[in-house]
């Protein structure tokens, strides 16, 4: 039995979704973020030294890092489903988007979250200075990168129905989290109809909905 160490409102939601798509049995061990800091509770460090989610335990294997988890589960249990064939053109695209999600899409979204907090939650005395520094970083680096990523993803979905090609794949599962985060805090709206349609399509998948029921609260941070 696979165990998913799952944190509320987090990236691990997509691991539950992949397991539902694969029709596998699994157990969910839920962890709750600290309401103030939003950090994971220290118990997660007993599962993996970094103390972050997701982590899966599958027999002897303890694996963190959502991209590695998703690639491993699709290869182990997909029997050719949800991952394009080795050596195909789609396999390269599949790997690209599996890595893009955490390697390129997430970093500016995390920076935006942090700089927005600095702007709004710094001590009052230093807030004007903190705000000026945060605004400079946001305008000079963070927001232009988010916009470029959005434009790129939107144009890629114009040449392929799904991120890896004509078929839905585990790369779409991995990409769901940044696209959802872009909708909540990255300026994704109706001006980018393909990404909006991607969200609509994934949210209507029965496996996605079952995973939400298993995982509980899933509202991404603004
Ligand atoms: N690149 C890692 C990131 C893991 C990560 O940062 N997870 C977040 C959940 S969205 C977390 O555990 N945050 C709580 C914390 O940092 O204490 C992955 O894709 O698995």
For 6-48, what is each residue's pLDDT tens digit? 999 999 999 999 999 999 999 999 999 999 999 999 999 999 9
At 71, which helix (H) or strand (E)? helix 66-77
Ligand 1 centroid distance, CA of 55 (Å) = 10
Average pLDDT over the chain reads 96
Predicted local confidence at residue 221, as pLDDT: 75
Res. 89 pLDDT band, cuts 50 70 90: very high
Ligand 1 centroid distance, CA of 2 (Å) = 19
Write the DSSP symbol of residue 124: G
Q: What percent of the chain has pLDDT over 70?
A: 100
Q: Which residues line ligand 1 (CB under 6 A)?
A: 7, 10-11, 39-40, 52-54, 65-66, 102
0.85 cut: is pTM over it? yes
Least confident range of 6-15, 158-167, 189-198, 212-221: 212-221
Ligand 1 centroid distance, CA of 157 (Å) = 27
Predicted local confidence at residue 54, as pLDDT: 98
Res. 220 pLDDT band, cuts 50 70 90: confident
pLDDT digits (tens, 9 = 90+) for 129-149: 999 999 999 999 999 999 999
> For the chain, what is the total number of helices (H) and then of strands (E)?
10, 4
Tokens of 17: 């979704």
**How far apart, in whole angstroms, are the C-alpha atoms of residue 156 and residue 56?**
31
Ligand 1 centroid distance, CA of 197 (Å) = 26
Residue 33 to residues 28, 93, 106, Cα–Cα distance (Å) = 16, 34, 19
pLDDT digits (tens, 9 = 90+) for 172-204: 999 999 999 999 999 999 999 999 999 999 999
């Amino acid at each position: 039995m696979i165990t998913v160490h799952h944190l509320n409102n987090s990236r691990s939601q997509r691991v539950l979704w992949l397991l539902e798509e694969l029709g596998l049995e699994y157990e969910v061990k839920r962890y709750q973020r600290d309401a103030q800091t939003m950090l994971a509770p220290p118990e997660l460090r007993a599962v993996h030294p970094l103390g972050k989610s997701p982590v899966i335990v599958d027999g002897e294997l303890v694996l963190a890092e959502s991209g590695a988890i998703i690639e491993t589960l699709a290869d182990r249990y997909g029997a050719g489903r949800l991952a394009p064939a080795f050596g195909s053109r789609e396999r390269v695209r599949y790997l690209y988007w599996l890595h893009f999600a955490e390697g390129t899409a997430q970093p500016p979204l995390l920076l935006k979250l942090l700089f927005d907090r600095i702007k709004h939650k710094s001590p009052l005395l230093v807030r004007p200075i903190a705000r000026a520094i945060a605004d400079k970083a946001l305008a000079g680096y963070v927001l232009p990168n988010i916009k470029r990523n959005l434009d790129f993803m939107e144009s890629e979905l114009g040449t392929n129905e799904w991120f890896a090609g004509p078929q839905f794949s585990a790369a779409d599962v991995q990409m769901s989290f940044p696209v959802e985060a872009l909708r909540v805090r990255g300026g994704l709206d109706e001006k980018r109809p393909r990404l909006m349609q991607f969200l609509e399509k994934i949210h209507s998948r029965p496996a996605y909905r079952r995973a939400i029921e298993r995982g509980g609260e899933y509202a991404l941070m603004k």
